[in-house]
Amino acid sequence: MTQLILKIILFLYLYGISSSSFRSTRFETVKNISNHSIPTKKEIIGGQWHPCYRNCDDKIKRTCKYTFVLKQYTSMSYACHDCPFNKEDCFLNGCITAGGHVRPVTVANHMLPGPSIQICEGDTVIVNVINNFASDSATIHWHGIHQVDTPFMDGVPFITQCPILPHNNFVYKFNASPAGTHIWHSHIGFEEADGLYGSLIVRKPNDPLKKYYDNDLAEHVMTIWHWYEMSTVYKLATVLHRYSKVYGYSFLINGLSSKAKYISQNTSYETPKEIFHVNEGKKYRFRVMFNSPIYCPVQVSVDNHQLLVIASESGAFDPVLVDSFFINAGERYDFVLYANQRPDNYWIRYRGRGDCDKNGVRISEVAILRVIDLNNTKDKSKDISRTPDYVFYYKFSFNTYMTHYAPGPYPQINDMSFEFPSVPLLTQYEDLSSSSICNEENYKNKECFEGFCKCPLIYSVNKDSLVEMVFADITDDRDQDHPVHLHGHDFHVVAMVSMGKNVSFEEIKRLNELGLVEKKFSRAPVKDNISVPAKGFTVIRFVASNPGYWFLHCHLANHMEMGMGFILKVGEHSQMTKTPINFPRCGNY
C-alpha cells in the first residue's frame, strides 16, 4: 500500500497536476494515459502522453510541468540498432534518424524534435530546463507566447535573462496565452538549427474555428525544419565570412526524412518518412510550423486535396481554400484537410524556394497522408486606424565594409549591426552605463570602425501607444524576403507591397508620409512573424500594451547571428513586472 501511494505521488509530480485540478478532472486524466504504462517516443514528441493534452474547458485550468534535459548527441547513434535495415529499430527510444546522416545534434531529452507541449489557453506552464551541454550555454524562447506579466521568461539571452550555463538549470514559468500554433526553440547561436526545438500548441476552449473541422489532434502537428548533413555552425560559419553563398540541403518533417541512402547486398535502404493518418470522410486541423537558418520558404501541398487555411500564429481569419501555400521561417499556419478521397496513400509535398531552389540546388521532401477506411476574424478592441503615436522606418540591407575588421556582407537594419549587451536589460538595467547602449539618435557615434557600426540598439515607446513600423527591403543583388519576428506582442499587417524593382528607402518613406500607401485597418491579419518582401515593404501596427524589452529580429538564424535585429523598449521600468527574488544575475568581471 505504501509503495502504491508513493507511485501516485511520483505520478502527480512528474505530470504536473495540482491537487485541485486533479480532483476536478481525475477520470479524464486517468483515461488519457490508461493505454500505456510507459509512453512511446512518438507520443512524447507529439505531446499525447501528457495529461495537459485534453479537451479544453474554460472553467478548468491546469499547472503543466515538463523537464527538458539538453544534451549534445548524435543522429543514427547506437540507439538506432539496425536502422534503416530494420525499420522498427528507427523508432526505438533514443534513436534520432534525421534523414539518415550521422552528425552532431543539439536536443532535449534525446529527441528531435523535442517534446511537444500541448495545453489549453490559461494553463500555467512550468518547464525545468537542465543544461547538460559540455561547454555551451542555452536559453529557450517560447515563440508566440506574449509573456504578459512574465517578461523575464521570454528566453532571450542578455535581454530578458542570463544564459543557462552548462550543468545549471533554469525553471521557466508562464501563462499559456495567446491560443495558437507556436514553437519553442533555443535562442542562442545555431542550437535551434541543430535540433533544439519543438511545438507549443495552445488550444482555445470553445474555439470558434471548431465549426470547420472534426478533429484537432496532437498527431497532426507538422514541424518542417531545414536540415544540413553536418553541424549548422560549421556549415554556415565557413561561408558567411568568406563571400561564399549558402544553399539549402534538406527538410525534416517531425524529425524524419529519407535523405541518406544505405546499401546492403545490392539493396537500397533509407530512414522512414513521416506518415499522417486520417479517417475517410473526416475533417482534420493540421498545425504547421517552419524554420530555417537560411532563406528557404516552403510551398506545402497535398496530392488530390485542397487545403482550407484558417489561421496563422495566434490570429484566425476568413478561411481560404487553396491548392498550396507558402510558409517562411518562424511562421505558423493552420489548415483543415477534408479526407474526401478514396482510402490510399497521398504525398504531402514540401518544395523549397529561395536558397533552396537555385544554381542547380532544388530541395524538396515528402511525407505521406494515409486515408483509412487571410482576413482576421477576431478584430481586437484596440483601434489601430487613428494617427499612430510613433512611426518607425527600418531599412533592411546587406552591406559590405572593405576592412579586415568587418568585410561582410552584413545583413543590417538601418546600417547597424545589433550586438547583445553584457547583462540582461530587463533585470539588470542599472548595471549598464548609458554609453554601453545606443538609440536611433546616437548609434552612429557608438561602436563604429570605418563605417561598420554595432551596438545594443534600442527603440523606446510609451506603454499603450499606437506604433507603426515600416520595414523596407532595398537590396538590389539578393532576391530574398526577411521573415521578421516580434517578441511580446502580435501585430496587424496593414500593408505589404512588392515593388518588383529597385526602390530607394527615401521613396518608400515619402510614399508613406504622403499617405499614398493603401492600408487596411479593418480586419487586418494578426501575426507575430511576417515577411518583408524583396524590393518592397511591409507596414505593421500594434498597441504596445506589454511593458518590457522585446527583441525584434530576422528569423533566419544566420541573419540574426550577424546582427539583423534591435530591441523595442515598451514603457518605463516602473511599469515593468518586478523581477523575481533571487533571479539569476550575470555580467562582466
Domain residue ranges in the chain: 2-205, 232-376, 390-575
What is the CATH class of 390-575?
mainly beta
- Which pLDDT band, with edges at 50, 70 and 90, does 380 fall under? low
Q: Secondary structure of 334-394 in the HEC alphabet?
A: EEEEECCCCCCEEEEEEEECHHHEECCEECEEEEEEEEECCEECCCCCCCCCCCCCEEEEE
Amino acid 578: pLDDT? 92
Report the C-alpha gap between 471 and 485 in whole angstroms: 12
- Could you name the CATH architecture of 2-205? Sandwich (2.60)
Helix (H, G, I), strand (E, B) or coil at 27: helix
CB of 486 closer than 8 Å to CB of 543: no
Helix (H, G, I), strand (E, B) or coil at 453: strand
> Does this chain's domain 232-376 share its CATH topology with 390-575?
yes
Q: How many other CB atoms sit within 10 Å of the CB of residue 63?
A: 15
pTM: 0.88
CATH 2.40.50.420 holds for 232-376 = no
* 499 Cβ contact partners less than 8 Å away, ≥ 6 residues apart: 535, 536, 537
Where on the phi/psi map is residue 582: left (φ > 0), alpha (ψ -120 to 50), or beta? Answer: left
Q: Average pLDDT of 165-193?
A: 96
Amino acid 301: pLDDT? 95
CB of 72 closer than 8 Å to CB of 65: no
* 243 Cβ contact partners less than 8 Å away, ≥ 6 residues apart: 407, 409
Report the C-alpha gap between 273 and 267 in whole angstroms: 18
- State percent of the chain over pLDDT 90: 57
Q: Average pLDDT of 4-30?
A: 31
Kindly tell me if the per-residue pLDDT of 25 is higher than 50. Answer: no
More confident: 184 or 51:
184
- Which pLDDT band, with edges at 50, 70 and 90, does 26 fall under? very low
Amino acid 404: pLDDT? 59
Q: Average pLDDT of 380-399?
A: 84
Kindly tell me if the per-residue pLDDT of 524 is higher than 90. Answer: no
pLDDT digits (tens, 9 = 90+) for 116-164: 999 999 999 999 999 999 999 999 999 999 999 999 999 999 999 999 9
Amino acid 368: pLDDT? 67
> What are the grid coordinates assigned to 517, written together?
500607401
CB of 541 closer than 8 Å to CB of 468: yes
> What are the grid coordinates assigned to 29, written together?
486524466
Amino acid 34: pLDDT? 32
More confident: 50 or 433:
50
Helix (H, G, I), strand (E, B) or coil at 28: helix
